[in-house]
Amino acid sequence: MKIGIIGAGNIGALLATKLGAAGHDVAIANSRGPETIDPGILTEGVRAVEAADAAAGAEVVIVSVPFARIPDVAGLLSQIPENVPLIDTGNYYPGRDGRHDAVDAGQVESVWVAQTIGRPLVKAWNSIGAPSLADKGTEPGAQGRIALPVAADRDEDRRAAMDLVEQTGFDAVDAGRLAESWRQQPGAPVYCTDLTRAEVVEGLARADRGRVPKRRDLAWAAVVERTDDFTTMPDFDWALRLNRVLYR
């Protein structure tokens, strides 16, 4: 399958190498040009392209840019043919990602993204930290396999994304429509807590909409206090323990 990825950072790069290794033809782009993409991620099946070319002819497109950068890529993404699934890995943290009045007032993050782009969207891979995405994928049926929720309004989009999630080493859980994807946002029980399928199903059902942003902000305050800035990734095992205590 031809897959376009816009964003070659922590998550975009990992998805490129995993999907290339799974046999897909992956074109990946950042904002600064193909020559600036880490050659280490240009493994089998993966090539670096200009952002304007990443979605050309793609059967699936993945956008993995910071939430604040979505308006910069909206024009590009709005040109993708309507029938092509577009998967968003994004999350919003107030402060780190600027301020978004609608989302701060409770609009679902990916609903805001879909409206900004003006086309249907899938939310997937947003709920796993880069270190777990890199190292904790396993074969289908493996004991304790980590599961990831996938939300979308069109069933065919959700199915396509779930299939790709499985190919990256994780059980895919049908999380329903995009409007319900607040259940997998930062602060939710299933967010970066490395749960199994049964635990994700239970966590999605148990999520409390009023508490999700409060718990996100508590965890984020602890991360910033520890790292002293908005960009350094904290020690991931510590972050995983923090999330499990606060979110579940």
Which residues of this protein are in contact with ligand NAP, per CB under 6 A?
6-12, 29-32, 51, 64-67, 69, 72-73, 89-91, 126, 129-130
Which residues, listed in sequence order, are joined to residue 29 by a DSSP beta bridge? Answer: 6
Nearest to ligand NAP of 63, 143 (CB atom): 63
> In the chain, what is the straight-line distance between the N-terminal and C-terminal CA atoms, in Å?
37
CB 36 → ligand NAP: shortest distance, Å? 6
Nearest to ligand NAP of 55, 160 (CB atom): 55
Nearest to ligand NAP of 6, 160 (CB atom): 6
CB 240 → ligand NAP: shortest distance, Å? 11
CB 87 → ligand NAP: shortest distance, Å? 11
Please report, as a single letter, which amino acid is at residue 100: H
CB 8 → ligand NAP: shortest distance, Å? 4
Non-local CB neighbours of 205 within 8 Å, separated by 6+ positions: none
Alpha helical stretches, state H, the chain: 10-21, 70-78, 101-104, 109-117, 130-135, 155-167, 197-206, 212-227, 236-247
Whose CB is nearest to ligand NAP? 9
Give the C-alpha distances (Å, rounded to integers) separating 25 from 57, 97, 139, 230: 11, 31, 21, 34
Nearest to ligand NAP of 9, 120 (CB atom): 9
